[in-house]
Amino acid sequence: MSNIAQDFVEEYIRGVLEPSQGIIRDMEEYASENRIPIVHPEVAKLLEVLIMGHNSSRILEIGTAIGYSAIIMAKAAGEKGTVDTIEIDEGMISQATKYIRAAGLEGRVNVLQGDAREVLRQMDGSYDLIFIDGAKGHYEEMFNSSLELLRTGGMIICDNVLFRGMVASSGLVKRRKITIVKRMRKFLKYITAHPRLNTAIVPIGDGLSISCRREI
């Protein structure tokens, strides 16, 4: 239970989505068996729809893990789409690389190793869509660096912004999570009031924010 949507709603949505197949199903099983967090199925589907509807071809991801969302986004972006994805953990990079190779996406998914905060400062270029799913306590810093890499009209999507419902309800906050919840609340206020952005907060999965860069 995510504390975001009621269980029966999540179960219904997942029940009407087409079952995963092939390598995507294999990755879901691996993540479940090894307790590796990946995006929820309904979030994965929304990413696909946004990428296809937005014609996003150049994508940046912060937080690769085993490469699940990177592969989903690369497939949604079509044959000319590319994904640069940042990960600090060598073990995760090794596993992600295996899956990327198995998916036949070696030339389109590029894994960058390092602390995302440092890697982002060294990057340039213009991305159509940026997906942030890294260390929650550093979202604001990573978001600001990402914004400088986003084209006008591009989107930044952040996962886990409602953090098991704790961000929305103080009654759910566990003592050891107080700091991260405070930071996430501050982050959401920041991006929803940002003059260069139009931001929506979507209560699916563990909570998503979707920000579109305005033309100024």
Residue spans of the domains in the chain: they are 7-213
- Please give the model's pTM, rounded to 2 decimal places: 0.94
pLDDT band at 177 (very low <50, low <70, confident <90, very high): confident
Distance CA 135, CA 116 (A): 9
First to last CA, the chain: 41
Q: Which CATH code is given to the segment(s) 7-213?
A: 3.40.50.150
Window from 122-131, 173-182, 194-203 with minimum mean pLDDT: 173-182
Q: How many CB atoms lie within 10 A of CB 23?
A: 18
| Cβ-based burial of 38 (10 A; exposed 0-12, middle 13-18, buried ≥19) | buried
Window from 55-59, 170-174, 181-185 with minimum mean pLDDT: 170-174
| pLDDT for residue 216 is more than 80 | no
pLDDT at position 2 is: 65
Average pLDDT over residues 171-183: 87
Quick: pLDDT tens for 124-167.
Answer: 989 999 999 999 999 999 999 999 999 999 999 999 999 988 88
| Cβ-based burial of 183 (10 A; exposed 0-12, middle 13-18, buried ≥19) | middle
Quick: pLDDT tens for 11-52.
Answer: 899 999 999 999 999 999 999 999 999 999 999 999 999 999
User: Taking Cα atoms as reference points, which of 123, 143, 126, 152 lies closest to residue 212?
Assistant: 152
> How many whole angstroms from its chain centre is CA 45?
12
Output the DSSP codes for 19-39: PP-HHHHHHHHHHHHTT----
